[in-house]
Amino acid sequence: MDMTIRPVTPAEHALLGEITAEAYLGDGLLDYGADDPYLVQLRDVPRRAAEAEVLVAADAAGRVLGGVTYAAPGNPWADIATADEAEFRMLAVSREARGAGAGEALVRACIDRARETAGVTGLVLSTQPAMRGAHRIYGRLGFVRTPERDWNPLDDLKLLTYRLELRPLR
């Protein structure tokens, strides 16, 4: 599929928020379903776009297929990154676009951004155990599991972590 990865536009904020929320809801990733408080963050693309870099995958007609939030080192949206690491979060692809390469293209765009940032030695992420399709993408792209960094943002939610080793720019 012919697609472009680019920054989200303000006109697309609500749409990407719904794509992200539906991906998490539809895959059963929210303990409280439609009442889960995390939905507020998933839908709040305007805040993420103001504080981090939000990218979308768009098809040839400009239709948004999915998105991701990229946090450079030191960004408040980074949960687990150290000072020399970038991180990405909230990778989501619409149900209709799954399997067409949008998720992998978004991850590759995050890798490119991290590689272009001086001093960055790695790109990290947190994921739920049930996100097996995403895990396959991470493995294909060279990410390795870092179980020593796994964490629990909530008592009953364990997040798995992955890291991609990068060579820093000089």
Calculate the CA dihedral of residues 71, 73, 78, 82 and round it to 10 degrees. Answer: 150
Q: What b-and-e string marks burial along 120-137, b requiring 16 or more CB atoms within 10 Å of the CB?
A: bbbbbbbbbeebeebbeb
Question: What number is the average pLDDT over the span 62-77?
Answer: 97
Q: How many CA atoms lie within 13 A of 51 on its CB side?
A: 11
Question: What number is the average pLDDT over the span 26-42?
Answer: 89
Which residues, in sequence order, are bridge partners of residue 144? Answer: 163
Q: Using one digit for the tens of pLDDT, what is the confidence trace for 82-130?
A: 999 999 999 999 999 999 999 999 999 999 999 999 899 999 999 999 8
User: Is residue 154 scored above 70 in pLDDT?
Assistant: yes
Question: What number is the average pLDDT over the span 20-33?
Answer: 89
Residue ranges and CATH numbers for the domains of the chain are: 3-165 (3.40.630.30)
Instruction: Report yes or no: 114 and 145 within 8 Å, Cβ to Cβ.
Output: no
Question: What number is the average pLDDT over the span 38-48?
Answer: 96
Question: What number is the average pLDDT over the span 141-167?
Answer: 92
pTM of the entire predicted model? 0.93
User: Is residue 132 scored above 60 in pLDDT?
Assistant: yes
